[in-house]
Structure 1
Amino acid sequence: MKKTTYLLASALLFLASCKTENHEEQTDQAPQPEYCLSEQMKKTTTFTAVAMRPIQEQLVLTGRIEYNQNDLVAFKSLLTGVVDEVKFELGDAVKKGQVLAVVKSTEIQDLTQERRALEGQVVLLKKQLTSKKELLDDGLIAKSEVLETEYELQNASFELEKIKANLNLYRAAGDGMFQILAPKNGYIVQKNIAVGQTITGEDENPLFSISNLKEVWVMVNIYPNELKYVKTGNPVKVKTLTDPDKFYSGKIDKIYNVLDDEEHVLKARIVLENTDLNLLPGLRTDIIVDKDNALGEATAIPNQAIIFENNKSFVVLYIDDCNLKTLRVNPIGKNQEYTYIKENLEPNEKVVTQNALILYEELNK
């Protein structure tokens, strides 16, 4: 009886064990919940198709954005005066002929008084000339008197026209004022003028400078040991410290073969289009120059797609909105733009470059 009871208990334990194992096996094989990219998330997420690229070593140089010196107009006053009104601020867009400032000047007052005096003199001389011509016709005066008056009228008219031209040049606006007008379309990039300020024609600094900023220069610092990698015409990529993920393509336009005394570097120039006006003069930049080498090819992943966790590198692959997965990758090289990996990805696969870390965490919940 005891033996029968023991066998029965063993059989029950065996069945229970099998049931438990079968339940665990079913639990392991149960499909995981599918993650789909929401419409809101997709608006801020970017994907980049991967490709095989040459493994490229790069040289990173420093530089600074400057105005296009061939397009910069600096204004200095020709007259002395006190600034009465300033109608612009640093960075403002201005149009040619726009009034930028109004200045009260004793020189304009003097010229205005001279103009009025000469206008009166010209009117008087014209009357005298008419009268003398009549007297000459009547034989009451000599012709020399008429000629003398004509000469005086001619000189007075010449001086009047000269003063009018000067007043027009100085943009006289009445009441001893003159206007400063924008000499061209562009943006105010330098400003050294304020209400109440006394200005003179001897000031060293310009009152303001205008540039259109649609094209800027990047002045590059090159140390002598780096010169072998930098040649005129080299394609380069430029990024600013304010937006390190955005690259601007250009080329070395000119190398100034004179060592800068202060920085002990050679200078090179890159000319960049600046249609969105994000390249502001004064910004520090990194300039990336590709070195000439032949290290083979590998799958290139944009650096912003790489996720680091526990000293390992991962990417998020995007097939479609409901088919994303994480993949561990093995880097074999890196530069300022790409990380090169051993793995070969499928042609239709893309990596997430914006929101990669957020999606990585969602997929690993």
Structure 2
Amino acid sequence: MSTHSTTRRHAAGLAGAAALALIVAALTGCDGPKPEPGPTDQDNQAPARETALEHAAKHQDPTYICPMHPQIRQDHPGTCPICGMDLIEKRVTPKAAAPETEPHPEVAVSGLMQQRLAVRTAEVERGPLAREVRAVGRVAYDETRLAHVHPRAAGWIEGLSLRAEGEPVRKDQKLADLYAPDILSAQVDFLIALERGGSNAPRVAPDKARNILRLLGVPEPVIRDIERSRETRNTIPVLAPADGIVTRMEAREGMYVTPSSEMFTIAALSEVWVMVDVFEHQLAWVRPGMRAEMRVPAYPGRTWTGKVEYLYPDLDPQTRTLRVRLVFSNPGLELKPNMFADVLIAGDPKPDAITIPREALIVTGQRESVVKALGEGRFQPVDVATGMESEGRVEVLSGLEPGDAIVVSGQFLIDSESSLQASFRRMR
């Protein structure tokens, strides 16, 4: 038997054995040999807790950079071509999520340290809060009591009874003597009307001439004297129309004046105005008729009582304040125009206001806060919203409740310590 025939018989036998094995497996329900366990899709997946940045950091290609020249980058180790230093590997390091921190954490202060810091506390109170407006005012003339003296006819001043401005005058006091041709002509017409009228004639013509003299500013006593003496007068006295102070004096002896010339200005000082500027946020507290008090540096300890008379219609665009006019009685004439005065306008109190002492409030420009005492040496800054301020107390709109204990002395150091702790926690 040849070698080729032997090989063919051996292959045929192997093929027959394999076929017999397949038939047996089919009859017995056996699946045949099981494959070796290999990696699954689940094994290839990243853990559920792994973020995209962590997965990228784990599988990224390394990058080598120079510590001194970060622009030198390559994907394999080596040296820097500029300085010769060994390149170091740089990988993406995922950042851990920053824990949420309190903006103002609690601060623990021992009893001894509280004594050293002179820590004092007070309670948040609820009650009426007075609405008071304090302002600096300026005393001014009462413009409704100013009198301007003008001649009724053109003429010359023949004599003056005053020497200078600032002199007090009484009503009907003679201020000057005026010679006016028109007034002299009116006197002649008046005398002619008296002569023509007679004792039994109608009084129409004399009364008309008398009224002309009155309109020209001739005083009634002078008219009666002319009627009695039947003689004219060359000069007519110029009388003061009211009591007051001569605040302006333009007349001089021998001066020619016309009806447009203001010879004298007389101001009555029995009542004075006080002008104050009220801030825009205080306008709702002020209304006409409110009581006002005033003190002036010239008379320490004295207080004048007046009232709000008028609120002007427009605000000053630069200072954002409204001018308010007050009226004060001045019987002794102690109040002089242009004096400075400290004014207090007492408004209606606001009921049921939550208030704290003014010294407890911390104002940084970005927030307003107080330090709340939690007990057992624990303190915590609390942001608040404030309202009006009066008599050393500040209204709190939110952030505190009545009965809360707050720090009124040493609170700035506690607030600083809380801010430092918050900063350290954010860094960590």
TM-score bucket of the superposed structures, by smaller chain:
0.3 to 0.5
Larger radius of gyration: 2
By relative contact order (CA 8 Å, sep 6+), the higher-ranking structure is: 1
- Normalization by structure 2: what TM-score? 0.41
- Normalization by structure 1: what TM-score? 0.47
